[in-house]
């Protein structure tokens, strides 16, 4: 069991219900059976398995957070593609550690203040050892939240800029 200081947040179930009807770009999602392992699912924070029905939808994580807390991210609002299960899923397993912490991958941790403005970012190259990769993510999050202005952090893939998950101030 991994004890995390910072909790990675999956997309909330009520938001997933909305995204399955119409995504944040206004499109109606198309579900398909994924034929191989590996799509990063933002509903349960794990990789897809062969044969699972998933959808690629447009998602605006900062916009949704801003609406929840009454912030105005202005030009920092963005919409990007994420994979989700086509139907309800069980959500993330609470003891699974930091998701998508593949060894050798690079992640960017983008920091936002309470107004939804970017206050900086950090690129983290994850070590080859899986335990060390988890520690690297934890340390990067700990460092990000040492700035009292940071309200939340988005963890993203470097290669495509894809949103992986959000972490809010503990």
pLDDT of 135 over the 50 cut: yes
pLDDT of 24 over the 50 cut: yes
Give the model's pLDDT for residue 3: 54
pLDDT band at 157 (very low <50, low <70, confident <90, very high): very high
Give the model's pLDDT for residue 160: 82
Rounded average pLDDT over 137-153: 97
pLDDT of 133 over the 70 cut: yes
C-alpha span between 107 and 124 (Å, rounded): 5
Q: What percent of the chain is predicted at pLDDT more than 90?
A: 84
Give the model's pLDDT for residue 36: 75
Rounded average pLDDT over 99-106: 88
3 state SS for the chain: CCCCCCCCECCCHHHHHHHHHCCCCCCCCCEEECCCCCCEECCCCEECCCCCEEEEEEECHHHHHHHHHCCCCHHHCCCEEEEEECCCCCCCCCCCCCCCCCCCCEEEEEEEECCCCEEEEEEEECCCCHHHHHHHHHHHHHHHCCCCCEEEEEEEECCCCCEEEEEECC
What average pLDDT does the structure give for the chain?
93
Query: Could you identify the residue written with the tokens 């997309």?
Result: 11
- Alpha-carbon separation of residue 165 from 33, 78, 110 (angstroms): 23, 15, 11
Give the model's pLDDT for residue 93: 84
Give the model's pLDDT for residue 25: 97
95-133 residues labelled b (16+ CB within 10 A) or e (exposed):
eebbbbbeeeeebbbbbbbebbbebeeeebebeeeeeeb
Give the model's pLDDT for residue 1: 38
User: What tokens were used for 64?
Assistant: 């949704």
Rounded average pLDDT over 141-147: 97
C-alpha span between 109 and 115 (Å, rounded): 17
pLDDT in tens, 55-94: 999 999 999 999 999 999 999 999 999 999 999 999 998 7
């Amino acid at each position: 069991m991994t004890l995390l200081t910072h909790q990675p947040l999956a997309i909330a179930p009520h938001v997933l219900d909305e995204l399955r009807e119409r995504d944040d770009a206004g499109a109606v999602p198309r579900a398909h059976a994924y034929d191989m392992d590996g799509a990063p699912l933002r509903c349960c924070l794990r990789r897809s398995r062969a044969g699972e029905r998933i959808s690629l939808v447009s998602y605006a994580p900062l916009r949704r957070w801003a609406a929840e807390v009454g912030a105005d991210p202005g030009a920092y609002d963005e919409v990007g593609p994420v994979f989700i299960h086509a139907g309800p899923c069980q959500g993330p397993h609470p003891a699974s550690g930091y998701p998508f912490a593949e060894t050798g991958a690079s992640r960017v941790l983008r920091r936002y203040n309470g107004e939804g403005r970017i206050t900086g970012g950090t690129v983290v190259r994850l070590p080859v050892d899986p335990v060390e990769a988890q520690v690297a993510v934890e340390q990067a999050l700990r460092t990000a939240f040492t700035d009292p202005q940071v309200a939340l952090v988005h963890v993203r893939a470097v290669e495509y800029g894809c949103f992986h998950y959000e972490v809010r101030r503990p």
